[in-house]
Chain A
Amino acid sequence: MAAILVISVFPFWWALRTGLSTNGDLFAGEQSLLPVGYTDNNFERVLGTASDEEILESLGRENTGSFDFLQSLQVSVIVSTAVTIGQVAFSAMAAYAFARMRFRGRDKLFFLFLSGLMIPPIFTLIPNLILVKNLGWLNSYLGIIAPFFLMTPFAVFFLRQFFLGISREVEEAALLDGAGHFRTFFGIIVPMSAAPLATLSILTYITAWNEFLWPLVVARDPARQPLTVALGQFTAQQPGTSPDWSGLMAGTLLAALPIIVIFLAFGRKVVDSIGFSGIK
């Protein structure tokens, strides 16, 4: 258990240790578990609060690459939040319809929908890009969010399974009490499904936060790049001979911070959801 803990935590510690070291000292070759030539300038640099002198001191040269961390953080938060709200809401409604409402071809439609799980996301990249381009949504929040905003086969499947487990009598009781489908869903089913909805929200948020390829393709404007893309761009801007490892690690740690917080707050739920989904 201790070994697993060390293996799990070590990468984070190494990123922190590198982020708190100066590039110059790192390249001097000192192999210490503790920060080499301790400095917090790298974090200040990533956050855009460091002066030119401080940059020169920690980097040992002028800044060759930069990104607006706070702006990218804002993009990541907006995109992840919007995707989570949209996806969970629409998936829940679709899942309820597939689980409970009677309509012609329901099961066939669900099977068709579920077969979407077998399509690799890369297959839909180009068609989606053309669609978003034609809609004039390149470099916009709409363009980044749109493909993920409605539902995903996994989310619908996940919630449908839960809804199927809810006693039908509860819904029938609500029906006799005078509630229609809409009120039954929002007044009874959704509150009863708080746990799976929270689980799905966490999973969706993490997935949306880590999404790289789609925003890379549709958001060329740095002002619309989430952290994953901005960090990638930052890496690409570094000279091949002496990359800014300290800045990169500081930025990576800051980018991962919200997810780490989610893990700390909802760890059990995240683990359960990963166990349930079996696909992460």
Chain B
Amino acid sequence: MATVELEELTKVYPGGVTAVNAMSLSIDDGEFVVFVGPSGCGKSTALRMVAGLEEISRGALRIGDADMTKVHPRDRDIAMVFQNYALYPHLTVRKNIAYPLKLAKVGKSEMEQRVERTAEVLHLTEFLDRKPAALSGGQRQRVAMGRAIVREPAVFLMDEPLSNLDAKLRVYMRSEISRIQRDLGVTTIYVTHDQVEAMTMGDRVAVLNGGVLQQVDKPSVLYRQPANIFVAGFVGSPAMNLFESTISIGDAGVTVATGDQQVELPLSFLDDCPALRGYDGLPLVCGIRPDDVYDAALAPDFSQRIAANVQLLEELGSEIVAHLDIGVQRVETGGPSADADDDEDLGSAFLGRFAQQSEARVGQRMEIAIDVSALHFFDRASGEVIRA
């Protein structure tokens, strides 16, 4: 086990494309850190630099106390699980798991013991003599995990290991990987494009976009205190509602314009967000999570309300996701949710998560309640959150 330090890690490909730009991050011993971001954000490249599969163009990598920037992959004391399993198809499960031990010239009896023990942890004992072709996707993934675990490395690296599994198996394997990582206590870097996976598995989540680390923090902090528009739009499902707005600060409170409607914030809001004073009368980006938007009929505690036209209702059983038109355009964040919206022409949609008891109907004009204490404000030019 070991700490991992990424110091200004940069990858520039021949031709000048910068895949990862000056990424700095300290990962504690035994910590589970998830790199998340949309396709092409540099998360896999960053992981591969840690693995030694990509040369580091600039910056430094330290694992434990050792500088690993130019060390050969096999000497970094790391193990990696790949997206496509990368099993050796001509070897049985037993030999696949034992392969790194064989190369490390571990004694036969110890090798057998470690393979058996690993197989038990991963519930693979009955499949040890099968070849990968005779296994299901989940079993193959567990064999790949086994090959990583059996080495007892200082660091686990996992590159989208669940993306080839079906939804149900993915949920199961998610908890399995978390359990195994917790049991073994090995420092782990996990790459995924699935923000639900990232939020549920990581002790901390590092959000990347365009090769730049946007924010790294605990999942709950990312969700409640996004550092910029990209993180706000990327983290959370459904994504945060982001729209252009202006504020005006008066003696009684802060007025936030949402299209031709407005909501009032108490002046005490400025105590937590003093920088907002500098934006009086200026355009900015306002955000609120769908969880903080209610059917007014079911939320008597929230006094700030606006009118909305119901465009679409997604009944999920326990709740209803309402697509609403409040007369404002969503702000593009570059995240996947923005891409998904392109297909349905829901550029004006403002999402709310209503309780299952809601009687909202498609086409109806209704009143929605906003928890104004949960509003986020971002600088329109830089995209950074306006806070302190």
Contact = CB atoms under 8 A, between A and B. Distances in A.
A265 interface: no
Nearest to B79: A176
Interface in A115-130: none
Contacts of B51: 172, 176
B80 A176 contact: yes
A175 B84 contact: no
A274 interface: no
* SS of B interface (majority): loop
A217 interface: no
A183 B100 CA distance: 12
A136 to B, nearest CB: 44
A170 B74 contact: no
Interface in B76-110: 78-80, 82-84, 86-90, 99-100, 103-104
Contacts of A172: 51, 53, 73, 80, 82, 86
Contacts of B100: 176-178
Contact of A178 (B83, B88, B103): B103
B353 to A, nearest CB: 39
A191 B80 CA distance: 22
Interface in B44-94: 51-53, 73-74, 78-80, 82-84, 86-90
A179 B90 CA distance: 16
B147 interface: yes
A169 interface: yes
A195 to B, nearest CB: 11
A176 B78 contact: yes
A183 to B, nearest CB: 7
Contact of B90 (A169, A174, A177, A192): A192
Interface string A184-224: 00001001101000000000000000000000000000000
Contacts, number: 55
Contacts of B147: 173, 177
A167 interface: yes
* SS of A interface (majority): helix
A173 B86 contact: yes
A175 B90 contact: no
Given A169-B84, A183-B103, A176 B74 contact: yes
Interface in B234-277: none
Contacts of A177: 74, 99-100, 103, 147, 151
B103 A179 contact: yes
Given A175-B53, A177-B147, A169 B74 contact: no
A50 B114 CA distance: 67
Contacts of B103: 177-179, 183
Contact of A191 (B73, B84, B90): B90
Nearest to A171: B86
17 contacts: A169-B86, A170-B87, A172-B53, A172-B73, A172-B80, A172-B86, A173-B80, A174-B99, A176-B52, A176-B53, A176-B79, A177-B103, A178-B100, A178-B104, A191-B88, A191-B90, A192-B90
Given A169-B86, A172-B82, A177-B99, 19 more contacts: A169-B83, A173-B80, A173-B87, A173-B147, A174-B99, A175-B73, A175-B74, A176-B51, A176-B52, A176-B78, A176-B100, A177-B74, A177-B100, A177-B103, A177-B147, A178-B74, A178-B100, A179-B103, A191-B88
Interface of B: 51-53, 73-74, 78-80, 82-84, 86-90, 99-100, 103-104, 147, 151
Interface of A: 167, 169-170, 172-179, 183, 188, 191-192, 194
